Amino acid sequence: MDKNKLQTQAEQRLIADYYENLTKSFDQRITEEGRERIHKAFEFANSAHAGVKRKSGEPYIVHPIAVAMIVSQEIGLGATSIISAILHDVVEDTDYTTEDIKNLFGEKVAKVVDGLTKLSDEITSQHDSKQATNFRKMLMTLSDDIRVILVKLADRLHNMRTLDSMPTPKQLKIAAETLYIFAPMAHRLGLYSIKTELEDLSLKYKQPETYNQIVFRLRNQQERREYLVNEFVQPIQNQLQNEGIDFTVSGRLKSIFSIWNKMQTKGISFDEIYDLLAIRIVFKPKTNISEKRQCFDILSLITDIYKPKPDRIRDWITIPKANGYEALHVTVMGPQGKWVEVQIRTERMDVIAERGFAAHYKYKGVHSIESELDKWLEKIRETLRNPESDALEFLDEFKMNLYTSEIVIFTPKGDMIPLPKGATIIDLAYEIHTDLGNHCIGAKINHKLVPVSYVLQSGDQVEILTSKTQAPDLEWLKFMSTAKAKTKVKQAFKLDKKRHLEKGQEIIEEKLKQYKIKPSADTLKKLAAHYNLSNKDQLYAHVGMGFIQIDDLESILKTRRENKLAKYWKISFGKNKNNQGRELELMLPKTQINKKNTFLLKEDPDERNYTLAKCCQPIPGDDVLGYMTSNNHVIIHKTKCPEANKLMSQHGDRIITAEWTNFKKRSYLTRIKVSGFDRIGIVNEVTNIISKQSNINMRTVMFDTHDGIFEGDLYIYIHNLGDLNKLIARLMKIKGIDTIERIENIEN
């Protein structure tokens, strides 16, 4: 039977419309020969996917065409990338192989498609996260072609745009993975508009109520904003026209995710965000005058009209961002007493700002030595060449490399070296050369001696000091910041793996012997899990190399007999860097949990088969999700918890939806911070409302006053979120109280 007959006439019309829109997005980039190859790829993929539907009910081929549309129109790539996008799911979902793709469409397309093809369950390590393994494989192709990542970002963007048809656990997993890896990746590659949309869509599915509230507030203020823009822009336009500058002016609203993120990090309300709006001036530069000078001339014209905020002038032209972004930013006091950010760019800068390096990246192997992107890709390749790191370790290292909050360091000769914020002397040493890092003993900054642990500040001029007798030190790992430096130090201690394994096994068995515990597979598995390692060999190696000191064995392996028939292990993860606040109870016998159904959280201790995560301290009423361990135990996290976000990105298949039942008996330790203007009796009023009027027990109460301002740190026992909100509402009525904030992290 002809596969195309499996498609109805309506479906064929829909597919034809999608493909026609794709062809309309082509410009002079796509030659006639390229268009023919693209059409051949479309016919091939349409036949291969015939009869297959998406969750939304649409023919499957609609998805690859939509991805190709993003690749063509929103990223601006050529024929090879468009063909790869159309074919990106053929090898994974049909009987065709990468070899077939190579024979039909050439080696380049085959390599990109292979990089985009996910691994099957059979060849995915049981210890590593499937997503992390897939991502690592995909990044391997960076050695040959960055188009793999660009097409993957387009694929992820279309999946996020059509996430409505997915079940909630799948939505949470995909949204978290997007926020954890793909949005930072888009930012790192300079794809600002794609990064913004990925972040906004992730928030929409992770925290729908918060997302909708911000959207509502923005719509409410739209008319007022438009008036402000017109009033603000008019005098600037007049001045630029008088100067004979060819320009366009537009307003850019801060993204929903950026607004939410600022509210979280700064602890402020929606109304306190002063840079909701930015005005963008894009101009056509005059020839024979430097772009930088012309940008500063426009800045001067603007600051003649409006007074600038001195600490809010950002020069990204002299030193562009790591992703290539160039612009001049200034925040000025506009009409109605509102701060307004103005962004000044040339047309060239604007193209790079929207499409990043994808707009002009050279694919034919002609790499510019000065390209920041090439330097970054080389760092990724270095990480990939390290055979010792497992997929999860790699994902963490890669994530670290995505952070673009950078500082600039100067060498004694005046060369600039960009480093992530928080980098130390030893990070800088390894950034310059491995030998320099291995023998580093300190540095001189402004003729002053500083240790290897010194945290660098942007603008420091640093002279690295070395000694032939110095060697890499495991203590360095505690304060190192960059993945490259950490990898180099670890490699120095991995020269004799077998010896380390034997030494580690000997140390662990000796420790277990002291507590009369047999080194069984189950015991070793629990120890490895505690330190976030995949298997016993990794555990032995880390102990043998001295990365892990097993001094807290007693607290890790606690056994307790409930009766003659049952006992359970309780493993409590300490607050180390990778496992901060994660708690896990492994129980026997196992409880069967249906991942498709919502997991109900019950108050009855006899029916409890879950643990509340220490990292975010959820209380009944919070929006939560469950992380199911390998032993069918569930750990409950808040949906907005960073640790939960990481778990969803790395172990999305173990995430389940969870809901509270009615909680009224038990109380949960909660921390709130209160601040305001000090006056006699205010502390007494606060404690009176908590203990007497609200009948809430307090564990710890600390108040501090200075210069007429008071701050209170209170640890209280709350039944549920409703009770907490009522308490906060009562406290806010006290004269002098200014802010009340719930603190997620409770330090016991």
Contact assessment for residue 181 and residue 380, using Cβ atoms and an 8 Å cutoff: no
Closest CA to 199 of 189, 190, 211, 209: 211
Structural domains in the chain plus CATH codes: 3-206 (1.10.3210.10), 214-358 (3.30.460.10), 405-492 (3.10.20.30), 512-656 (no CATH), 668-743 (3.30.70.260)
Could you tell me the pTM of the whole model? 0.68
Instruction: Please tell me whether the peptide bond between 589 and the residue prior to it is cis, using omega within 30 degrees of 0.
Output: yes
Full 3-state SS string of 645-692? HHHHHHCHHHEEEEEECCCCCCCEEEEEEEEEECCCCHHHHHHHHHHH
Structure token digits, residue 14: 């829909």
- At residue 180, the pLDDT reads 80
Count the helices and strands in the chain (H runs, E runs): 29, 22
Structure token digits, residue 45: 């993929």
- At residue 134, the pLDDT reads 61
Q: Which residues contact 416 (CB under 8 A, 6 or more apart)?
A: 319, 408, 409, 410
Question: How far apart are alpha carbons 519 and 528 in whole angstroms?
Answer: 12
Strand 655-660 and strand 599-601: pairing?
parallel
Q: How far is CA 44 from CA 9, 41, 467, in A?
A: 19, 5, 63
User: Angle CA(557)–CA(560)–CA(562) in degrees, nearest 5?
Assistant: 150
Largest CA distance in the chain: 91
Structure token digits, residue 366: 């002609």
User: Angle CA(75)–CA(81)–CA(82) in degrees, nearest 5?
Assistant: 85
Place of tokens 């390692």: 533
What H or E segment, with its residue span, contains residue 40? Answer: helix 32-48
Q: Which residues contact 645 (CB under 8 A, 6 or more apart)?
A: 176, 179, 180, 206
Pick the catalytic residue: 20, 36, 92, 496? 92
Question: How far apart are alpha carbons 385 and 383 in whole angstroms?
Answer: 5
Identify residue 284 by its one-letter amino acid code.
K
Q: Crossing angle of helices 483-492/425-432, nearest 10°?
A: 80
Contact assessment for residue 324 and residue 261, using Cβ atoms and an 8 Å cutoff: no
Burial class of 684 by CB neighbour count within 10 A (0 to 12, 13 to 18, 19+) = exposed
Closest CA to 731 of 707, 745, 710, 747: 710
Find the Cα–Cα–Cα–Cα dihedral 548, 553, 556, 558, rounded to 10°: 170
Average confidence (pLDDT) per 10 residues, the chain, 748 residues: 62 88 83 90 90 84 92 86 90 87 89 70 40 61 68 91 86 84 81 90 90 89 80 91 90 87 80 80 91 93 90 84 82 84 90 68 37 61 56 57 68 82 90 90 87 88 89 85 81 68 84 80 77 75 77 60 34 38 37 64 71 83 82 80 78 80 78 86 86 81 82 87 87 86 69
Q: What is the SS3 assignment for 203?
A: helix
Q: What is the SS3 assignment for 455?
A: strand
Closest CA to 399 of 577, 530, 628, 613: 577
What H or E segment, with its residue span, contains residue 556? Answer: helix 553-556
Question: How far apart are alpha carbons 343 and 313 in whole angstroms?
Answer: 10
Sign, CA dihedral 127-129-134-138, equals: negative
> Is 93 noted as a catalytic residue in this protein?
yes
Contact assessment for residue 113 and residue 101, using Cβ atoms and an 8 Å cutoff: yes
> Is 653 noted as a catalytic residue in this protein?
no
Structure token digits, residue 293: 């000078």
Backbone φ, ψ for residue 275 (5° rounding): -110, 45
